[in-house]
Amino acid sequence: MLTMEMEMEMEMEFRPRLSYFISKAKSVKDITFSKKTRVAILSCFTIYGLEESLKVKCAERKLGCMTYSSPYNQYNQDILSSASPLYEFSPNLTFMLIDTRTILSSLFYNPYSVSVSERREYIDNRVKELVNLVRKFTIKSKSKLIVANFHAPVYTPYGICETKTEYGLREMVSDLNAKLSYSLRNDPSAFVFDFDAFVAKYGEVNVYDYRQFLFGDIKVSLNCIPSLAEEFMGYINAELGINRKCIVLDLDNTLWGGIVGEDGFEGIKLSPQSPGTSFVEFQRVIQALHERGIILAINSRNNEDEALRVIREHPYMVLRENNFASIKINWNDKISNTKAIAEGLNIGLDSLVYFDDDPVNRELVSSALPEVMTVDLPKDPALYAQTLMNLNVFNTFSITDEDKRRGQMYIEERNRTQLEKSVINLDDFLSQLEIKINIREADKFTIPRISQLVLKTNQFNLTTKRFQEEEILRFSEDRNMLVGCAQTSDKFGDNGITGVFIVKKNPEYSEWNIEAFLLSCRVMGRRIEDGIMEYILNEARKEGIKRVKGRYIPTSKNKPCENFLPRSGFKKEGEDWILHLESKAE
Amino acid sequence: MDTASRVESRIKSDILYDIIAGVMEVPVSRINDESSPENLETWDSFHGLILADELETRFSVKFVLEDLTSVKKVADIKRNLAKYDILISDE
């Protein structure tokens, strides 16, 4: 039997090495991918192979990735000169890596050569310089800037006295990191990549290879470059609005040990004692993800009564029935259950992550539904939690209040669906729902959510134009733009912000253009879009506008809104759909 | 090193050439003891490090920094490997 260490070692071993990415990168042709991004890397040291690793990892996910690396240690010049190749490249995402050795200069070797107050002043000045550099960049570029923070080295010349020393080496670096994060916290275009946590994850001894460092100023060892690229993928996915939204879970030997149908309610392994601890731990990690807004679903071949009894009554279940937005416990095959979950929740298969201990089921789902991310669970349940924590697929650039409430919203949705089943006529259903639409103009509270919807909404999205948060902020401050959102609620609860519109005003032509109009899949089919359109048309009338122009740009996913403009009275004229307001005037 | 624990491995040149050709992405026919950064356009310092890493994994050896800097052509790689009892020959 494999020990945990052996299994972990084997997993490390199977991780493709940098040479794999280098040779694979040559054959990557990303012209065929519809989603593309441009990534710039600014670094003060040699960072071989990162571009290749990013390109290959993107291609594996069917994403195009153009890259640019600043010449060795030229990041400053690249940022400061408006005519630099960096700005010419025009990145969407820019990663900046400066290492601890460089930022601390001679203090890296002997920080105690200067006084405590001088050390503090030194760090404060470095933070100011860094933040200045960040601001210079974000003013000049539309790109998001991801700044790596600094690794606090394990070795210090003071050894065991280090922690007895005021503002010692490690404290200096921690303070630098804290101040950097704090300074950039409210900047929507700048993010801090926790490089210190990256080193903790892979180990200082692995990330730094002294031979490579002394040979060629390589400060992230070649073998760790693919792992660094993997961390960066979290940002690339968020930038492209790709993220997994839902965890689909098998039950037996996945959420608990054993098979409830055979071992019985008391016989399954789920307790504060080993081996039941593995499953409790796994469930706790899932629960925390659920609380940040990840939807949970069950896909289990089981007797529903027996399985539900565990979920409802078992003293050590962490996840309970009301944590799950969709529950499929039946004897149907895993493929049709998975499809039914996605359809029921109105999300794409590419939003699902599937956990099942049975390799046969995994193979079945992954070959029939390749869009679903099927996780290769290790044989040892003790490693389940860690496997989940290592998935870097749930990232978004912000976590909004809507995200945190999402779990609750889906439970409310389950109740709505039950009402829908008992009411046959759609109009009756909608009127019984008592829908309220509150239109709000974009402000600093609503913009993060507006941007999130703009980046990820696929189905009810007329133009699928993806605007970044900073652009939306700019639009909202522009007198010739109307940016707003719809907050919807009904008798079952608050749905939060679920609709967005961006209108460009052209008063000189007495015309408004609908640049973006979209609706979260969560509230589709409730005619909320009609309410939002009515608001836009009324606003246009108030300003004496004669024409409102819209456009439907078809994609593989936005068929649900194909007929929305004609249904709202718009008439096709060339590429555009136009509504003449005079004709509607009463 | 304790001479009693030394275990020599004999490896055919072809195996080494295959590894080098793979890393440098050239046909193996272009690799011989005289191959070097001078006559292989893909052999830059980066590919040199990738090659060292590949050889360390394949032959379970750990080069010292000077090994990395001393390589001027394939023959030097053979000489370095021999220091770790990996004998490359065609006999």
CATH number for the domain that contains residue A93: 3.40.50.1110
Looking at the 3D structure of chain B, how many domains does it have? Answer: 1
Is there a single domain that holds both residue A469 and residue A375? no
Amino acid at A70: S
Chain B positions in Cβ-Cβ contact with residue A23 (cut-off 8 Å): 22, 25
User: Contact at 8 Å (CB) between B51 and B20?
Assistant: yes
Nearest CA in chain A to B55: A19
CB-closest option in B23, B54, B69 to A215 = B69
Boundary-marking domain end, from A185, A213, A239: A239
Beta strands in A59-111 (DSSP E): 63-69, 93-97
Q: What is the pLDDT of residue A425?
A: 64
Residue A327 domain-assigned (yes or no)? yes
Q: Whole-angstrom Cα distance, residue A345 to residue A407?
A: 12
Nearest to A393 by CA among A421, A365, A428, A351: A351
The residue count for chain B: 91
Is there a single domain that holds both residue A366 and residue A438? no
Nearest CA in chain A to B19: A19
Is there a single domain that holds both residue A562 and residue A462? yes
Is there a single domain that holds both residue A555 and residue A454? yes
- DSSP 3-state assignment of A297? strand
Main-chain dihedrals φ then ψ at residue A418, nearest 5 degrees:
-65, -40
Q: Whole-angstrom Cα distance, residue B59 to residue A546?
A: 78
Residue A3 domain-assigned (yes or no)? no
First to last CA, chain B: 27
Cα distance from B65 to chain A (closest Cα, Å)? Answer: 5
- Computed on alpha carbons and rounded to an integer, the radius of gyration of chain A in Å comes to 27
Query: For A257, which DSSP code?
Result: B
Q: What is the pLDDT of residue A30?
A: 63
| Interchain pair A22, B50: CB under 8 A | yes
Q: What is the pLDDT of residue B3?
A: 47
Q: Whole-angstrom Cα distance, residue A207 to residue A222?
A: 8
The whole-model pTM stands at 0.74
Boundary-marking domain end, from A239, A267, A299: A239
Residue A418 domain-assigned (yes or no)? no
Nearest CA in chain B to A46: B46
Is there a single domain that holds both residue A494 and residue A438? yes
Is there a single domain that holds both residue A65 and residue A192? yes
Residue A78 domain-assigned (yes or no)? yes
Evaluated on CA atoms A86, A87, A93, A97, the torsion sign reads positive
| Interchain pair A211, B65: CB under 8 A | yes
Boundary-marking domain end, from A210, A239, A268: A239
Is there a single domain that holds both residue A365 and residue A221? no
Looking at the 3D structure of chain A, how many domains does it have? Answer: 3
A15 part of contact set with chain B, CB < 8 Å: no
Is there a single domain that holds both residue A180 and residue A235? yes
B7 part of contact set with chain A, CB < 8 Å: no
| Interchain pair A215, B54: CB under 8 A | no
Q: Which residues pair with A481 in a beta bridge?
A: A504
A13 part of contact set with chain B, CB < 8 Å: no
Is there a single domain that holds both residue A169 and residue A304? no
Q: What is the CATH number of the domain that holds A311?
A: 3.40.50.1000
Task: Provide, for chain B, the percentages of residues in helix, strand and coil under a 3-state DSSP scheme, each rounded to the nearest 5.
Answer: 55, 10, 35
Chain A positions in Cβ-Cβ contact with residue B69 (cut-off 8 Å): 215
Q: What is the pLDDT of residue A31?
A: 66
User: Contact at 8 Å (CB) between A56 and A21?
Assistant: yes
Chain A positions in Cβ-Cβ contact with residue B22 (cut-off 8 Å): 19, 23
Q: Whole-angstrom Cα distance, residue A150 to residue A99?
A: 6
| Interchain pair B50, A215: CB under 8 A | no
Residue A556 domain-assigned (yes or no)? yes
Q: What is the CATH number of the domain that holds B40?
A: 1.10.1200.10
Chain A positions in Cβ-Cβ contact with residue B46 (cut-off 8 Å): 48-49, 216
Q: What is the CATH number of the domain that holds A509?
A: 3.40.630.30
User: Contact at 8 Å (CB) between A526 and A430?
Assistant: yes
Segments forming the whole domain that contains residue B72: 3-89
Residues of chain B with confidence (pLDDT) below 50: 1-4
Amino acid at A468: Q
Strands A460-461 and A481-490: unpaired
Q: What is the pLDDT of residue B5?
A: 57
Segments forming the whole domain that contains residue A58: 28-239
User: Contact at 8 Å (CB) between A355 and A254?
Assistant: yes
A433 part of contact set with chain B, CB < 8 Å: no
Residue A412 domain-assigned (yes or no)? no
Residue A263 domain-assigned (yes or no)? yes
CB-closest option in A26, A211, A222 to B50 = A222
Is there a single domain that holds both residue A184 and residue A261? no
Is there a single domain that holds both residue A557 and residue A488? yes
In order along its 586 residues, chain A shows pLDDT tens digits of 344 444 444 444 456 888 889 888 988 876 678 889 999 999 999 888 999 999 999 999 889 999 999 998 889 999 999 999 999 999 999 999 999 999 999 999 999 999 999 999 999 999 999 999 999 999 999 999 999 999 999 999 999 999 999 999 999 999 999 999 999 999 999 999 999 999 999 999 999 999 999 998 999 999 999 999 999 999 999 998 888 999 999 999 999 999 998 899 999 999 999 999 999 999 999 999 999 999 999 999 998 999 999 999 999 999 999 999 999 999 898 999 999 999 999 899 999 999 999 998 999 999 999 999 999 999 999 999 999 999 989 988 888 887 877 777 777 777 777 777 666 566 777 777 788 899 999 988 899 899 989 988 888 999 999 999 999 999 999 999 999 999 988 877 788 899 999 999 998 999 999 999 999 877 877 889 999 999 999 999 999 999 999 999 998 888 889 999 999 999 999 889 999 987 444 4
Is there a single domain that holds both residue A81 and residue A182? yes
